[in-house]
Amino acid sequence: MFVVSKHRERGLTLVELLVVVAILGLLAVTVLPNIAANGEARRGREAARLVSSFIAGAHARAIGRREWAGFALIASGTASYAAIDLVHTDVPPLYRGDRVPSLVTISGTGATTRYVTWSNAELAYSGTVGVASGDLIRFGGGARWYELSATPSAMVTGSVSFRLRGDMSSATEDSGEQPHNTPWPAAASVPFEILSKPIRSGGLTNLPADRAVDLYWSGYGPPSVSGSAAYMPFQVASSGTATAGATTSILFDGTGRIRQIQVQSGGAAPVRRTVTGSVFLLVGRVDRVAQPYNSAGGGGSGDDTKGANWQYPDSYWIAIDPFSGATKAAECTVSATTVLDSQLWIRQSLAAGGG
C-alpha cells in the first residue's frame, strides 16, 4: 500500500515580500547610479578618443606638405558654442594670377586702406579661383601680408581695397602693425600672391550623441582671469570671450608644428592668431556647453547638475603641443573649482611628454 503525501503549495509571506522589495530598493540605490555613471564616463572617453584620433590624422596629413593643413571645429549654430562636427582642412596653394606675369596696380593714399586693380587678362575670376574677402595678399615677392577687405565680385575689372591687418583687433597676430611702422607698397604695377583661407577637405566627422567640443572654454596658451575669480577661461576668439557660432581652424605646417589658429564667424573676415602655447580643447556634454561654474556640481560622472563641463570627470581635456603637434588627452579632475585646477592631469601629461 502506497501512501501519497500531499504538500500544500504556499506563496511568499508579507514579511518575505517586504524583504525582497527592500533588497531591490537597495540595489537600485547603490548599483543603478554606478551603471549610469559608468555609461557617462564611457561616452566621455569615446568622444575624447574620437577627437584625439581625428587630430592625429589631421596632423599626419600636414607632414611634408608645402601648404598648411589641419582641421576645423564647426559650431552647431550661429549662437552656439558646441562643436559636434569636425573636418579636415587644407590651405590652397598661393594664387598668382592666370598669366605669367600677372600684375596688379596699387593705388590710394589712405592711412589704413588702399586699393588694388586687376584686369580681365590678369585675373580670370570666374567663380573658380575662390579669392574672397579676408584672404591675404602680398606684392612683389615681399614678406608683408595685407588683408583683402572687399568681395571678389569686383576683382575682375574693379578696384578692391586692402588694409593693414593690425586694425582688426588688438589681439590679432599682427596687432603691432600701425600706419607709422608698416611699409605700404609703392603705387605701381607689381606681381602678387594671394593666401586663401583654409577650405574643407573630405566629409564631416560627428561626435557621439550628447557630446561636443566646448568652444566657450577651449583655447590656447596660459590661462587668464576674466569676469570671476571662480574660473579662469581661455580666450579663443575676440578679447575676453569666445565667439558664438564660429568655426575654429587649427593649422599645422609641413613639420607638424601648429602655425596658426583662425576663428571665423559667418561671412566676417577670420581672426588669425599666432599660437603662443599648447592648445586645449574641452570635450564634454552638449547640455553643459558654455555653462558657468556651479558650486553645487562636479561630484561625479553621474552628476546631472548644469555646471561648466570642466567640473565633471566625464569631461576630457585634449591638449596639442604647439611644437610637435602631439596630442594628449586626460579627464578633468574631480570637483575642480577653476579651469586651471581641472587641467591638472592634462598639464602633468604635457610636462611628462616635454610639452
Per-residue pLDDT at 107: 87
Per-residue pLDDT at 2: 52
Query: Per-residue b/e over 229-258, b at no fewer than 16 CB within 10 Å?
Result: eebbbbbbbbeeebbbbbbbbbbbbeebbb
In tens digits, the chain (355 residues) has pLDDT values of 555 555 555 666 777 777 777 777 776 666 555 555 566 788 899 999 999 999 999 999 999 999 999 999 999 988 899 999 999 999 999 888 777 778 888 888 887 788 888 755 455 444 444 577 788 889 988 888 888 876 555 555 556 778 776 544 434 445 555 555 567 888 888 888 888 889 999 999 999 889 999 999 988 876 554 444 333 445 544 444 567 888 999 999 999 999 988 888 877 778 888 787 889 999 999 999 999 889 888 877 678 888 999 999 999 999 999 999 999 999 999 888 888 889 999 999 988 875 5
Sequence-distant (≥ 6) Cβ neighbours of residue 14 within 8 angstroms? none
Smallest CA-to-CA distance from 252 within 354, 151, 149, 323 is with 323
Per-residue pLDDT at 246: 86
Smallest CA-to-CA distance from 347 within 323, 329, 324, 322 is with 329
CB count within 10 Å of CB 159 equals 15
Rounded to whole angstroms, the Cα distance separating 90 from 61 reads 9
The CATH class given to the 103-195 domain equals mainly beta
Rounded to whole angstroms, the Cα distance separating 146 from 243 reads 24
List the chain domain ranges. 40-91+200-352, 103-195
Per-residue pLDDT at 40: 76
Rounded to whole angstroms, the Cα distance separating 148 from 196 reads 10
* Predicted TM-score (pTM) of this structure: 0.78
32-39 long-range contacts (CB < 8 A, ≥24 apart) are 33/302, 34/302, 36/302, 37/300, 37/301, 37/302, 37/314, 38/301
Site of grid cell 552628476: 303
Rounded to whole angstroms, the Cα distance separating 217 from 233 reads 6
